[in-house]
Amino acid sequence: MTKTILKDGLLIDPVSGKERVVSLTIEGECISAITEQSTPASNTNDVVLDLNGQWIIPGIVDLSCALQEPGYEQNETIATGLAAAAKGGITAVCASPETLPIVDNAAVVVQVQEKARTATGARLIPIGAATQGLKGDALASYGELKEHGCPAVTQGTGSIQSANMMRRALEYAKAFDIVVIHQALEHSMKGLCDEGPWSTRLGLPASPAQAELIAIERDVALAELTDSRLHLTRVSTALGVDAIRRAKAKGIKVTCDTTINHLHLTTAALSGYDSNYKVWPPLRSESDVQAVREGLADGTIDVITSDHRPVHLQDKALEFMQAQFGISGFESLLGLTLDLIESGALTRMQAIGALTAGPRRVLGQEANVLAPGQTADLTIIDPKASWILDEASMISKGTNTPFLGKVFMGRASRTIVAGQTVFSATSEKITI
């Protein structure tokens, strides 16, 4: 069998916490060998890639994204989304059920999976709707969703407003051993801007940090009551991080993520009313950003997500109040995470763990240990590669990102899924 040999790469394994220079051999879909000596080709068909110290990490898993198909193909298709993810070094994406029709039954899950099978790029992990039609008044069929490949359910960017319905969702999910992913933010306090000096100055509807705290406290209390797994998504405030830290200390089965946008951007970015900065939940204060970074560093926050939400130009190039929420994030996730390492906000192991082992733990999957016999889902990173995010080179149909023109240091040089290269920076080409 033809082998692919990744020669002299720095293997970084957040599960074992170890780093070492190795040669890693792939045969078929799996890793067949890892040695600390250079591995020569055994036949003329073998492919030897000299990494010269580039990083080998478990494949990145993005826990929060919107692929938009079916129903909103003008924003993104499954094919373009999975290809864009692969370019960003992502080997698997968890797709939100916010499509048309909603992913709340087996037929739609199958439709999405069939589309993904014909695409080249990252794997697609479907996430089911927590309630029928995402309306919040009746639960979806969790058993049916799990049977067809959904490891979790969610309301997407919405939330279950009824405490009793949320309790039932947690209990029902526990019965099928799936996790409830929930946006914890009090709906009656929803706004477009963090409450404070900037909301006053800009005249925008405000959402105070307490809106997140109130919802988190409710959901955590229900998770404790039901002894169920709860994952809180897009945590954005110091108050929210502190509440989750206390819940974890009590042994409640709660995990959480934050978006790469809330690790880099503050409310001050809204000063020009640029709709590319309009995200949900809204951007927060500098002190909130610092608290969220500290929550990642101490393990309170488990996962970094791209929260990839591509938006067609006609729906984004509007006045701030009318424009849709969302940033196209697949292609900048890794670069922005590497910036956190460079700045000292996170160690290399902390950052990589939040992109790889963290999401797998949330989904109840075994961590992707880099060892012989394991599926070869790998991200190869060139930490010295300088590049610019420009609209012309983006694969995603959505170019709604405030990071256009930014110079990054470090990128995915190769993305490998089940032993196959689905993106290589040397060619910058991928079949869509």
Question: Tokens at residue 7, please?
Answer: 């020669």
**CA 254 to chain CA centroid, nearest Å:** 17
Where does residue 195 fall: left (phi above 0), alpha (psi -120 to 50 degrees), or beta otherwise? beta
Q: Find tokens 């950052």 and name the residue.
A: 351
Angle at 328 between CA 11 and CA 401, to 5 degrees: 110
Catalytic residue list contains 315: no
CA 327/CA 310 separation, integer angstroms: 6
Decide if 40 contacts 73 (C-beta within 8 A): no
Question: Tokens at residue 124, please?
Answer: 């697609």
CA 153/CA 406 separation, integer angstroms: 35
CA distances from 178 to 66, 95, 175, 377, 392 (A): 20, 16, 8, 23, 40
Residues 6+ apart with CB under 8 A from 322: none
Decide if 345 contacts 298 (C-beta within 8 A): no
Residues 6+ apart with CB under 8 A from 249: none
Residue 230's Cβ-side half-sphere holds a number of Cα atoms within 13 Å equal to: 31
Decide if 178 contacts 142 (C-beta within 8 A): yes
CA distances from 17 to 59, 67, 302 (A): 16, 33, 16
Angle at 232 between CA 109 and CA 348, to 5 degrees: 100
Which one of the listed residues 219, 257, 307, 382 is annotated catalytic? Answer: 307
Residue 11 burial (CB count, 10 A): 22
H helical segments located in 135-196: 142-147, 163-175
Q: Find tokens 């290589």 and name the residue.
A: 424
Decide if 282 contacts 207 (C-beta within 8 A): yes
Residue 312 burial (CB count, 10 A): 18
Length of the chain: 432
Question: Tokens at residue 361, please?
Answer: 């733990």
CA 207/CA 204 separation, integer angstroms: 10
Instruction: Tell me the catalytic residues.
Output: 307
